Amino acid sequence: MSNANITTIQNLYAAFGRGDVATIIAGLTPDVDWQTVGRQKDFPTLGPRKGAAQVQDFFQLVGEHEDFSDFTPREFYAADDKVFVLGSYNLKVKKTGKPVASEWVHVFTLKDGKVTRFREHTDTAQFAEAFAGGEKLGLARRFVDEVCNGRKLDAADALFSADHVYHDPGSPWAGQGPAGIKDVIGVYHRGVKDARWDVHAMSETGDTVVMRWTGSGTHTGELLGIPPTNRKVRVDGIWMFRVAGGKIVESWNCWDTLGMLQQLGVVPQMGQAA
């Protein structure tokens, strides 16, 4: 029975790895007692849950708040009706972009081949610290993930104030409010088919978030009046966001405009003849 229980739990981890939550839920008793030990006010996935429906909600919260780079169950032990699993994970909290790296212990209790009780013991202090005080960082992160890389321009309506002011010497035509940001990002969506913004670092000081980023892609459409060149471009920049009342009210974007024009062949490289 112990070996059979281990196999059952290993199958559930395999389902988690491929994003198959339905298989996990099917492996639980209807009244399953499920808990990641900790306070829910510190992090949304912590705390007790009862029943398969609440566990379904738990996995939805995991997807909304955690971005895993590693999740590895390493050791499995069984005794009577219990399976003990030792493992580790590395992830980023989506709201803030802050990392969490922790070892964990999972304890499953099984009845007739299904999980009737689950406990997770992990470094909840890391989760609380990574999640706390991240409203401003979360706004900037959502802007990159949803508006820039997700190409959901309308998401800007929830992130930027109606009188938001955008400062960028390379985009003097940008208007105020969410519409101005949509115009700016839309230009690059249309001109660079695979445009992507990668964030390397974010920090929050007072009412301001500072973000260091790299933009890349292939110039396949008209961009700032430049006909398509099909050249690949890569530029670095610093973006600052000032937040008030739960929205971005002002931002400053300073990036390597000259480098982009040189890569597109519009401006000569240093040392080349004009």
pLDDT value for 100: 94
**Beta strands 82-93 and 99-111: pairing type?**
antiparallel
Q: Is the pTM of this model over 0.85?
A: no
Q: What HEC string does the chain produce?
A: CHHHHHHHHHHHHHHHHCCCHHHHHHCEEEEEEEEECCCCCCCCCCEEEECHHHHHHHHHHHHHHEEEEEEEEEEEEEECCEEEEEEEEEEEECCCCCEEEEEEEEEEEEECCEEEEEEEECCHHHHHHHHCCCHHHHHHHHHHHHHHHCCCHHHHHHHEEEEEEEECCCCCCCCCHHHHHHHHHHHHHHHECCCEEEEEEEEEECCEEEEEEEEEEEECCCECCECCCCCEEEEEEEEEEEEECCEEEEEEEEECHHHHHHHCCCCCCCCCCC
How far is the C-alpha of 214 from the C-alpha of 256, rounded, in Å?
Answer: 10
Determine the pLDDT at residue 271: 60
* Residue 94 near residue 199 (C-beta atoms within 8 A): no
pLDDT at 250: 97
pLDDT at residue 36 in the model: 97
pLDDT by residue, tens only, the chain of 274 residues: 578 999 999 999 999 999 999 999 999 999 999 999 999 999 999 999 999 999 999 999 999 999 999 999 999 999 999 999 999 999 999 877 789 999 999 999 999 999 999 999 999 999 998 887 677 888 998 999 999 999 999 999 999 999 999 999 888 888 999 999 999 999 999 999 999 999 998 888 889 999 999 999 999 999 989 999 999 999 999 999 999 998 999 999 999 999 999 999 998 876 655 5
Query: Torsion angle, CA of 91/97/98/104, rounded to 10 degrees?
Result: -20
Alpha-carbon gap, residue 239 to 252, rounded angstroms: 6
Tokens representing residue 266 in the block: 């519009």
pLDDT (0 to 100) of residue 267: 87
Q: Cα separations (Å) of 249 from 78, 160, 187?
A: 55, 6, 21
- The tokens for 13 are 């981890």
Please check whether residue 269 is in contact with residue 252, taking contact to mean a CB–CB distance below 8 angstroms.
no
Q: Which structural domains are found in the chain, ordered by start?
A: 2-131 (3.10.450.50), 152-263 (3.10.450.50)
Provide the pLDDT for residue 129: 86
